[in-house]
Every structure is written in structure tokens, then in C-alpha cells.
């Protein structure tokens, strides 16, 4: 069985922990506590007969000390880069996260996620939302697929992990192509 470390990236508050919980537990907790340090969850994925275990890492938004970030990034084989579609600053900040990741680990497969899609119907329409078109163009800069999602209503969440699985299956088709766990 192949094993891959997958990283969540993005500013505090964009919904990384909620997306992870929604995916692995199928739940959404309104009062989820902010992650302290690093958490992870493991899951089995499959795609056209290809199977792997993903170990998905989630970090605290305030974790920005250089040494901790390089520990967090080390051996990451794919990343889920998340912004909040209701907050433009979270998309700008993601640029920084991605370039630090690519500097440390090379251009690993990436999926860009615009989270909180459910708020389109809730906040006033005058609110400066990040449109799917702008999200897609942002993701294209990295050759990455873009998914608008909601940890709250669950929309788009399976798609994020389908993309991650497919990208890993393309890069590591057989166990012989499987990378060492770390390094
Ligand atoms: P983080 O792990 O990226 O820091 P969290 O983000 O998962 O802790 O989520 C931060 C806040 O955003 C939480 O609210 C959470 O409930 C909310 N949230 C996460 N995903 C969604 C979503 O898809 N839609 C909506 N409407 N809210 C979401 P609180 O109030 O606990 O700070
Ligand atoms: Mg968190």
C-alpha cells in the first residue's frame, strides 16, 4: 500500500480543520476549536484500481515560525491550499504559503479550494466574494484544479479529495514509483 503525506495550507479561519473533519467524519462542528500545533487524519483512497493511504496534515493558522513550517512541509506529496471566498486577503496570503511550500518541497501536486461557498446565499450580494472565475485563474497559475467548497454544507468536499487522489495516482502510478516517507 502506498502512503502519502498531504498538507493543508492557508490562513487561520479559512476552514481547513472544518474541511478535514467534514471529509473524514462527515460532520461539521460550528464551534470547532482552533488547531493547536499539528493534527492529522488518515484515510484510504482509491481511483481506477489504484489505492493509497493518505495522511492528511492540518496546522494551526498562527503557526508561522520558520522551523515549524519546514517540519510541517517535510515530505509532503500533495497539498490542499485553501482560501475563504468571502475574504480576498486570504487568497493573497495563499500565494505566500504556496511559494514557501514549493521552495521547500518542489512543485508537488496542488488543489486550490475556495471554501465557505454556502455564504454566497447568506451574506449581502454586495459583499466582495471571490468569484469561481477568479479562483480558477488563481489556481491556473500553479497548474492546479480549483474547487469551490463548503465545509458547512459539504458541497465540493469529495471533489477536493478526488483531485488529490487522481493527481497522486498520475504521479506515482505503481508502488515502485512510491516516494520514501520523508526526504
Ligand atoms: P482553520 O482550521 O482554517 O483555522 P476552521 O478554520 O475550520 O477552524 O474554521 C474557522 C471558522 O470558519 C469557524 O467558525 C468555522 O465554523 C467556519 N467555517 C469553516 N468552514 C466553513 C464553511 O464552509 N462555511 C461557513 N459558513 N463557515 C465555515 P467559528 O465561528 O468557530 O470561528
Ligand atoms: Mg484549524
Please report, for the domain that includes residue 94, its CATH number: 3.40.50.300
182 located within any domain: no
3-state secondary structure of 134: helix
Ligand 1 atom with the shortest distance to the CA of 32: 31
Domain count, the chain: 1
**Which of 13, 72, 80, 97 should be mutated for ligand 1, with most atoms under 8 A from CB?**
13
Q: What is the pLDDT of residue 16?
A: 94
Q: What is the pLDDT of residue 59?
A: 80
Q: What is the pLDDT of residue 53?
A: 93
Q: What is the pLDDT of residue 75?
A: 94
Q: pTM of the predicted model, to two decimals?
A: 0.93
Q: What is the pLDDT of residue 118?
A: 96
Range in 8-12, 67-71, 94-98, 123-127 with the lowest mean pLDDT: 67-71
59 located within any domain: yes
- Whether 144 contacts 81, CB under 8 Å: yes
167 located within any domain: yes
Which residues, at least 6 apart from 144, have a Cβ–Cβ distance to it below 8 Å? 81, 109, 110, 111, 112
Average of per-residue pLDDT values in the chain: 89
CA dist 45 to 49, 97, 128, Å?
Answer: 10, 26, 36
Structural domain harbouring 85: 2-177
94 located within any domain: yes
103-120 mean pLDDT:
96
Amino acid at each position: 500500500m502506498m502512503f502519502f503525506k498531504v498538507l493543508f495550507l492557508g490562513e487561520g479561519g479559512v476552514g481547513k480543520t472544518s474541511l478535514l473533519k467534514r471529509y473524514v467524519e462527515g460532520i461539521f462542528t460550528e464551534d470547532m476549536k482552533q488547531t493547536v500545533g499539528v493534527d492529522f487524519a488518515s484515510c484510504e483512497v482509491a481511483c481506477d484500481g489504484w489505492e493509497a493511504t493518505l495522511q492528511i496534515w492540518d496546522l494551526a493558522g498562527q503557526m508561522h515560525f520558520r522551523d515549524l513550517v519546514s517540519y510541517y512541509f517535510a515530505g509532503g506529496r500533495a497539498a490542499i491550499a485553501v482560501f475563504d471566498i468571502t475574504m480576498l486577503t486570504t487568497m493573497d496570503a495563499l500565494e505566500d504559503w504556496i511559494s514557501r511550500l514549493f521552495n521547500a518541497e518542489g512543485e508537488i501536486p496542488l488543489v486550490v479550494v475556495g471554501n465557505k461557498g454556502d455564504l454566497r446565499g447568506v451574506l449581502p450580494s454586495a459583499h466582495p466574494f471571490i468569484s469561481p472565475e477568479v479562483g480558477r485563474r488563481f489556481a491556473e497559475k500553479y497548474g492546479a484544479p480549483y474547487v469551490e467548497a463548503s465545509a458547512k454544507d459539504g458541497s465540493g468536499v469529495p471533489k477536493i479529495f478526488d483531485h488529490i487522489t487522481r493527481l497522486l495516482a498520475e504521479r506515482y502510478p505503481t508502488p515502485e514509483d512510491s516516494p520514501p516517507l520523508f526526504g
